[in-house]
Amino acid sequence: MSKVYSFLKEEYLPGALFIKTSFKRDREELVTRFSGYTPEYLVGFEDQISTVKQIQQTLVLTEAQKQATVNLYLRATSVNVEFNFLSSYFKKCGLDTKILSQVKKDLTTHNIEGATDKIASVIQFIDANSAALVSKGMAADFAATLAADRDYMEQQNLLQNEVKNQIAGLYTANKAEYDALYDYIAEIAADGKIMYAKTPKAKEYTIAKIIERLRSGNSGGGDVPTPATV
C-alpha cells in the first residue's frame, strides 16, 4: 500500500491530539535532550490545539454528516471482507481477480470514489458469470447486495465530502492558525523520532504512522474528536 505523508486539512486537529498524548507523557524526558520543551512550550501547544478546535467547532453539521465517516468506513470494511470470499469464488472459476484486488486496495485506503467506480464493473462481471460463481458458493443475490452497498457508500461519501469542504473553507480563512499548529506537530515529531529511534515509541512520533492510525479509524489518541472533525 502506498503511503501518504501529508496531513489532510481535516487531519490537523486529530493528528495534533494524537501527538499531544505522547508528548505530555514524554515531555520531561524529551527536555533533557531538547531544552525548548519546557512546561510553557506544552501550554503553548495546548493553547494552539484549543484555538484550532474552537475554529472547527464553528461548523454546524447535521447528524447525518457527523455520522457519515463512521458509517462509510464500517461499510467499506464489511465490503472488503466480502471481497475475500468473492476472490475465492473467482479463483475457483478460473476468473481474473485483478479488479477485485484493485477494489480491495481502494477500500483499504479509503479511496471510496475509486472503489465505487470499479464496483460497477465487478457487478457486470458477476452478472456475466453468475451461474459458475453461484456453483462455487456465491449467494445468488450477491450482485444486488453489492449494488446496494455501493449506493450506500456513495451517499455517505457525499456527506463526508461536504464536511471536508467546510473544513477546507475554515482552513483557508484561518491558515495561519493551522500552520502554527502544524509547526508544533512537525517539531515534536522530528525530535521524538530522534529521541526514541529504534524503539516502539518512535511510531508515535512518525507523522506517516499517525496518518495511518487516523485513516484506519484507530481512536487511540485519547481525546481525538469524534466525526465532527472527520
**Is the same domain home to 129 and 200?**
no
List all residues 6 or more positions away from 190 whose beta carbon is below 8 Å from its beta carbon. Answer: 205
Q: Which pLDDT score is estimated for 112? A: 95
**Is the same domain home to 51 and 91?**
no
The three-state secondary structure class of 33 is coil
Q: Which pLDDT score is estimated for 217? A: 56
Q: Which pLDDT score is estimated for 213? A: 86
**Is the same domain home to 149 and 192?**
no
Q: Which pLDDT score is estimated for 190? A: 97
**Is the same domain home to 55 and 133?**
no
**Is the same domain home to 38 and 71?**
no
**Is the same domain home to 78 and 18?**
no
Q: Are 56 and 170 in contact (CB under 8 A)?
A: yes
Residue 2 lies in a domain: no
d(CA 66, CA 23): 29
The total number of residues written for the chain in this structure: 230
d(CA 178, CA 152): 33
Q: Which pLDDT score is estimated for 218? A: 47
Q: Are 26 and 19 in contact (CB under 8 A)?
A: no
Grid coordinates representing 103 are 477494489
**Is the same domain home to 100 and 30?**
no
Which secondary-structure segment (H or E) carries 122? helix 112-128
214 exposed, middle or buried (CB, 10 Å; 0-12, 13-18, 19+)? buried
- 78 is in which domain, residue-wise? 67-160
**Is the same domain home to 132 and 206?**
no
Q: Which pLDDT score is estimated for 219? A: 43
Which residue's C-alpha cell is 481525546? 223
Residue 166 lies in a domain: no
d(CA 179, CA 72): 29
Residue 106 lies in a domain: yes
**Is the same domain home to 75 and 129?**
yes
State how far Cα 201 lies from the chain centre: 21
Domain count across the chain: 2
pTM: 0.65
pLDDT tens digits for range 16-31: 999 999 999 999 999 9
Q: Are 18 and 210 in contact (CB under 8 A)?
A: yes
**Is the same domain home to 45 and 74?**
no
Residue 4 lies in a domain: no
**Is the same domain home to 56 and 76?**
no
**Is the same domain home to 217 and 135?**
no
Looking at residue 174, the DSSP 8-state letter turns out to be T
Query: Which residues does the chain have with pLDDT short of 50?
Result: 1-4, 218-230
Residue where one domain finishes, among candidates 130, 160, 190: 160
Residue 3 lies in a domain: no
